Structure 1
Amino acid sequence: MAEQQNAIPVIDFSPFIDGNPAERKAVAAQMRQASSDWGFFYLAGCGMPEGNLREAFAASQALFALSDDAKQAVAWQSAESNRGYVGVRRERLDPSKPGDLKEAFNLAPEQPGGAPNLWPVELPAFRPQMEDFLQQCVATADGVLQAFALALQQPEDFFVSAHNQHHHTLRLLHYPALPDSFNAQAGESRAGEHTDYGSITLLFQDTAGGLEVRTRAGEWIAATPIPGTVVVNTGDLMQRWTNHVFCSTPHRVNLRSSHRERYSIAFFCHPNHSANIRCISTCSDAENPPRYAPISAGNHLLERLNATY
């Protein structure tokens, strides 16, 4: 295993998008190293248009500014649909701690016969804005998945083809500012310690900060927002798929900056529900046999969501 650096790596993705085979291979190698050492990295030059990102954050702010009645009209109902508004303290990412001091809104690429998204009637522009942003996130995630496949000596479409039904979730997040008089319960935080459930996550942050990542040594360090980058982390299913070649790293959002409200947008990239997640051939050998039995990606997601709400 490579020696861990002392800071979450920043990787320029533009040579993978526009470069020659050697440059693409070099970027993929950097992403493999970061995913092994950290399970997290900042990705610069990923091709996400800055205007789309600004519009998505503005739409998120408009959504969370709606009245409680308007938000409850599009409330989250079940793990099976996993759509709609989630109120403050409704979710508990760390089941041993109080509910998280955040509110969220989940949506996803719509599928024929699948659960529909819930759209607030008060914001007619919200739907086209989010649908456009979803397409940009899918394109960015597919690029990351292509690089991961190359890094693991697999065909370039290895992961993309296992995600082509777009069973992803886009999550808008708002962490309200807390008054100076607020007294936190024991163990309370803006988002409890957790790992992500799927294959990869794209996280877009505002400037407020608060995200922390746990190192292999058990130390918590700040994932300070860096303009022009998206934070990429690997989740539980990618860790299983790669037999711990890529790690799924605990992270949280602390209370230290709770006097400021915080917005972030997370795109949770999840394999097709029918995908059978089994150890990749290049990720095991006689000294490192497969650690996990195969599992259905859809069953894994339902188990994790039902444990969270």
Structure 2
Amino acid sequence: MCDDYIPVVDFASCGLEREKCSEEDLAKVGKLIVDAFSDSGFVYLKNYGITDAYIKELQNVTGQYFTSPLQDKLRYKRKGTANFGWVGTGEENPGLDPNVPCDYKEFFNINGASFTRDKSEWPDDVAPGFSHAILDFMERAQKLLRILHALAIGLGLKDEYFFHKCHRKMHSADSFTTARTLYYPTANAANLLPGQLRLGEHSDLTTISLVFQDNVGGLQKHRVVVKEGELRNKIVRRSLAYFVHPDNDTFINKPFEYKDESKNVPEAEQTKLLTSVEWIMEKMKVLWNTEEK
């Protein structure tokens, strides 16, 4: 298998069009996903139940925000570690390497607490329909946690609902699960810094990340490069991400319990348990360069 190969898994048997999935279908898909993560670390899903037309329309709605005047966008700028709001071009370096320029992208984060957020905090006056469109997307994406159900079965976990139990509070203040709509503005050689990428090489802090991208390309194993065609033709790139985090009180380093008990870690070898919120806040302080909580 070549180094840049990413497996493709047909998720039709467990897609959102189906009200229920059989144990057999979940097991088959789960095995394919486990194999993909083991070999590549990434997987392309097809026929999962959210159409390209739906994503395109969502990008059109949220895109109104990114093309609005700067003074309008600044009114909704992310504050501290609230994890809600706009971040401009050149303000984030997810790789945390001080020698690498910050990313040539801008984005708007929408966290779980947004389902009860006051409407005055939404940029609907700048991009009509923004809040409705993104919250509808988050509800659809949450249903794709069938992926985690399949993954638990594919891993051979003792409790096939283990991941569901760790993600019960996703769309609330008790979870860092977040949607992110991203906008990569047109670039040229003159306004790109040496070594600057659309999105620098990094590792996500999530259980899994669902990424919906357009046809511009540039995505390579957890970084986004600037393609020559983008510079020449002044192309805007768009993507949408749904970052799935466990509930804040979940112990993220507690070993799995497998049906095959020979795979289980002896209790004497287990380390001090760390909750999701403890871990994520330490990471965010560095990523966002703030001590505010």
TM-score (norm: length of structure 2)? 0.82
2:161 to 157, 162, 166: 157
Q: Which amino acid aligns with 1:36?
A: S
Q: Which amino acid aligns with 2:131?
A: R
Q: Return 98-107 or 23-32, whichever deviates more.
A: 23-32
**How far, CA to CA, are the matches of 2:27 and 2:80 in structure 1?**
42
Q: Greater share of strand residues, 1 or 2? A: 1
- Please give the residue correspondences for 1:226-237 in structure 2 after superposition, counting only pairs within 5 Å: none
Structure 2 residue aligned with 1:14:
12
How far apart are residue 52 of structure 1 and its match? Answer: 2.9
Contact kept, 8 Å, 1:83 with 1:118, in 2: the verdict is no
Structure 2 residue aligned with 1:300:
279
2:63 to 61, 81, 94: 61
How far apart are residue 114 of structure 1 and its match? Answer: 8.1
How far apart are residue 156 of structure 1 and its match? Answer: 3.0
SS in 2 for 1:281: coil
**How far, CA to CA, are the matches of 1:307 and 1:91 in structure 2?**
11
**How far, CA to CA, are the matches of 1:197 and 1:115 in structure 2?**
27
- Please give the residue correspondences for 1:71-90 in structure 2 after superposition, counting only pairs within 5 Å: 71-79=73-81, 81-90=82-91
- Please give the residue correspondences for 1:1-309 in structure 2 after superposition, counting only pairs within 5 Å: 7-17=5-15, 20-79=22-81, 81-96=82-97, 97-110=100-113, 118-120=121-123, 121-140=125-144, 142-154=145-157, 155-166=159-170, 167=175, 168-185=177-194, 187-213=195-221, 251-257=222-228, 258-259=230-231, 260-277=235-252, 278-282=254-258, 284-285=263-264, 293-309=272-288
Q: Which amino acid aligns with 2:13?
A: P
Contact kept, 8 Å, 1:28 with 1:150, in 2: the verdict is yes
SS in 2 for 1:193: coil
How far apart are residue 183 of structure 1 and its match? Answer: 4.7
Pair 290,64 (structure 1): closer, same or farther in 2 beyond 3 Å: farther
Contact kept, 8 Å, 1:146 with 1:159, in 2: the verdict is yes
The Cα offsets for residues 223-248 of structure 1, whole Å up to 9 and x where unpaired, read as xxxxxxxxxxxxxxxxxxxxxxxxxx
Contact kept, 8 Å, 1:101 with 1:190, in 2: the verdict is yes
How far apart are residue 6 of structure 1 and its match? Answer: 6.0
Structure 2 residue aligned with 1:217:
none
Q: Return 89-98 or 45-54, whichever deviates more.
A: 45-54
Pair 95,189 (structure 1): closer, same or farther in 2 beyond 3 Å: same
RMSD across aligned positions (CA)? 2.6
Q: Greater share of helix residues, 1 or 2? A: 2
Pair 73,112 (structure 1): closer, same or farther in 2 beyond 3 Å: closer
The Cα offsets for residues 93-142 of structure 1, whole Å up to 9 and x where unpaired, read as 122111111101000232788899941122231111111111011111x1
Q: Which amino acid aligns with 1:195?
A: S
How far apart are residue 293 of structure 1 and its match? Answer: 4.4
Pair 82,4 (structure 1): closer, same or farther in 2 beyond 3 Å: same
Q: Which amino acid aligns with 1:134?
A: M
**How far, CA to CA, are the matches of 1:9 and 1:117 in structure 2?**
43
The Cα offsets for residues 193-234 of structure 1, whole Å up to 9 and x where unpaired, read as 100001000000011111111xxxxxxxxxxxxxxxxxxxxx
SS in 1 for 2:60: helix
The Cα offsets for residues 146-181 of structure 1, whole Å up to 9 and x where unpaired, read as 111111223332101211101210001111111243
**How far, CA to CA, are the matches of 1:184 and 1:91 in structure 2?**
14
How far apart are residue 9 of structure 1 and its match? Answer: 0.4
How far apart are residue 192 of structure 1 and its match? Answer: 0.9
How far apart are residue 301 of structure 1 and its match? Answer: 1.4
Contact kept, 8 Å, 1:104 with 1:172, in 2: the verdict is yes
Structure 2 residue aligned with 1:241:
none
Pair 16,274 (structure 1): closer, same or farther in 2 beyond 3 Å: same
Specify every segment of 5 or more residues in structure 1 that has no aligned partner in the other structure, as ranges: 214-250
Q: Return 69-78 or 289-298, whichever deviates more.
A: 289-298
TM-score (norm: length of structure 1)? 0.78
Pair 169,116 (structure 1): closer, same or farther in 2 beyond 3 Å: farther
Structure 2 residue aligned with 1:223:
none
